[in-house]
Structure 1
Amino acid sequence: MEFGRLGLGCAQLGNLYREVDDGTAAATVAAAWDAGVRFFDTAPHYGLGLSERRLGAALRAFPRPEFVLSTKVGRRLVPDPEGAGRRDSEGFAVPADHRRVWDFTADGVRRSLDESLARLGLDRVDLVLVHDPEDHLAAAVDEAYPALADLRSQGVVRAVGVGSKQVSALHRFARDTDVDLVMIAGRYTLLEQSALDTLLPECGRRGVRAVAAGVFNSGLLAEDRPHEGLPYDYGSAPPAVLDRARALAAACARHGTSLPAAAIAFTAAHPAVASVVVGAQDPDQVRRNAALATADPPPEELWADLVAEGLLRPDAPVPGGRP
């Protein structure tokens, strides 16, 4: 599968942090398509199924063979009529009319995928990822993965993988299973590079492709000048993390580039990274991110200065070669 340099992360289509209307959601997907994006990633978790419904409706306007679609398993959605009057408690501006139930069993995986296909309104997905398995690792490796591998062998899905914010969980899958791909959420960014220690070398040895999600660390690196109130890992940025982001931004400005541009260029430069997945609230954000992803990389001197200032690991690959 060809993912392209930039993919669209669709958590925002599920009203992550704030409400997005149906028209804006559809226009966001259309803008991504017009910008050349052909990889779209969603999950039942995102807006209790809202992201899948909106993404599927939007993608039905485009030729199915021309895009790659991924969704996730591990959380099944169970109707909860008593929650309809409450707001979802996990960051999405939607009614809590369903509850998430962790389920990494083989039956749960198959049922979750069937339910995702129904919400998407499409006949297939290309890639299925085990979603956030870190607290259920044994079941995810011993039950969910074999079920996905069986679906792959039957041709029901083209590829299988795992997505997580925890490097050790991703490393376990890359080392002990035959996943095709790992999705690294927030652990290989300009702000932090813990995936360099074990995960990305293991991917290189095993021929596992990596997709880098959360390259803005949930939003902290998404603006030229990081400030209080921007999210970090779906919460508030600790003062030390905010200070580090501001130092990165200042260095970028000195070299005539922006923090978001450097964040995308840096993550995409690793040879194991097949694509960078970035979310967007509206069409303008999509167009901005696509322009950043296709622009000339920041000057090589930036990376050397970041290493000298202790803001970037010296062993991190960068555009144009190591600093």
Structure 2
Amino acid sequence: MTALGRRRIAGTAVEVTELGFGASVIGNLYREVDDKTAAGAVRAAWDGGIRTFDTAPHYGLGLSERRLGAALRPLLASAGRGEAVVSSKVGRLLEPRLPPLPQDDDGFAVPGDLVRRFDYSRDGVLRSLEQTLERTGLDRLDVVYVHDPDEHWDEAAHQAVPALVELRDQGVVGAVGAGMNQSAMLTRFLRETDVDLVMLAGRYTLLEQGALDDVLPAAIETGKSVVAAGVFNSGLLAQDDVPDDATYEYRQAPTELLSRARQIAEVCRRHATTLPAAAIAFPLRHPAVVSVTLGMRTPAEVEGNLARAAAPVPAELWAELEERGLLRSWAPATRITSTLATTPTEDHQ
């Protein structure tokens, strides 16, 4: 088992591994994966030292939650429930679709017998959590995020978050947060609500550092934490050599971003590392970031990402990227030791 660093979500007792398992893809995101392969991916993550697992009702209309729970339950029965941090999300209730569709119409290769209904009300949050616990077969969730409330700020901020905070204060969940693909509203959650953390997808990567202007300083100033997701920018940074058909935001990557990614990859090679290894290490340099969540579909993908996370990434790489204008220059703030369970590994400095 690889020894992965752990960091504590600020202001809570919840410790996460620096690398987390994103279970969206075992919910058949874009293409099918069979039950055995999905279970094997979760087991490979566990065997590799990953102890942080993230899912959501949205992912495969509950399939991700069912598969993740089925794979984790025997592991937790042996190791103890406290050995893992499991997060899921609220904001989309799953209800019967009549008549059903042959296939889901929101990107997952699953039957379309259910429909997602946005609901950020207190009652919706409680119903969603009850359904998630039924699907996973777990006795509790460690972290709960308000999921994609882009058009629902008022209800999410004034009903969903307070409902989750009440559960946190009762000891039912360990930490509460919000998860989105945009940084502006996540900044509002950090500054205007009582969340403990946010999950920021795709907006703080080797290609994009706009979060340095809003989410990350807000997290530092409020003493809260950030989980970075989408660090490969949906595929563009996922391979050592950037292919012509690489995707960005789940579409064909534009020419200028292909060129930029290839320039970064070339600098990585000169420093004896790889583009995806640097993409994983980069967000963890920031003192507010406690974990990087990667979607992993197969045991081979898990093993590959564990190797990348363990690969040395020298400090000279960041300096050259900054000098060449390929990475925004910034002075890493002094790490807030109260937010960390252990000192980050040297590779992530």
Match of 2:5 in 1: none
Q: What is the TM-score normalised by the length of structure 2?
A: 0.88
Q: Which amino acid aligns with 2:288?
A: A
Q: What is the TM-score normalised by the length of structure 1?
A: 0.95
Instruction: Verify: 1:13 aligned to 2:26, yes or no.
Output: yes
Identity among equivalent positions (%) equals: 57
Match of 1:69 in 2: 86
Determine which of 117, 139, 159 is the counterpart of 2:175: 159
Instruction: Verify: 1:309 aligned to 2:324, yes or no.
Output: yes
Cα distance in 1, alignment partners of residues 155 and 34 from structure 2: 37
Worse overlay, 22-31 or 256-265: 256-265
Preserved contact between residue 300 and residue 320 of structure 1 (Cα < 8 Å): no
Match of 2:104 in 1: 88
Report how far residue 241 of structure 1 moved: 2.1
Measured against aligned partners, the alpha-carbon deviations of 1:181-238 in whole angstroms (never above 9, x if no partner) come to: 1111111111101111121111111111111111111221111112243332233322
5+ residue gaps, structure 2: 1-13, 334-344
Give the alignment's Cα RMSD to 1 decimal: 1.9
Report how far residue 240 of structure 1 moved: 2.2
Measured against aligned partners, the alpha-carbon deviations of 1:121-141 in whole angstroms (never above 9, x if no partner) come to: 111111100001122112111
Cα distance in 2, alignment partners of residues 3 and 290 from structure 1: 15
Report how far residue 316 of structure 1 moved: 6.2
Q: What are the within-5 Å matches in structure 2 for residues 81-230 of structure 1? A: 81-85=98-102, 87-230=103-246
Report how far residue 82 of structure 1 moved: 2.3
Cα distance in 2, alignment partners of residues 236 and 89 from structure 1: 21
Cα distance in 2, alignment partners of residues 107 and 175 from structure 1: 25
Q: What are the within-5 Å matches in structure 2 for residues 225-304 of structure 1? A: 225-296=241-312, 298-304=313-319
Relative contact order higher in (CA < 8 Å, ≥ 6 apart): 2
Report how far residue 254 of structure 1 moved: 2.4
Match of 2:7 in 1: none
Cα distance in 1, alignment partners of residues 92 and 241 from structure 2: 36
Instruction: Verify: 1:44 aligned to 2:73, yes or no.
Output: no
Cα distance in 2, alignment partners of residues 242 and 275 from structure 1: 26
Preserved contact between residue 273 and residue 311 of structure 2 (Cα < 8 Å): no
Preserved contact between residue 106 and residue 147 of structure 1 (Cα < 8 Å): yes
Instruction: Give the secondary-structure state (helix, strand or coil) at the position aligned to 1:257.
Output: coil
Cα distance in 1, alignment partners of residues 295 and 254 from structure 2: 22
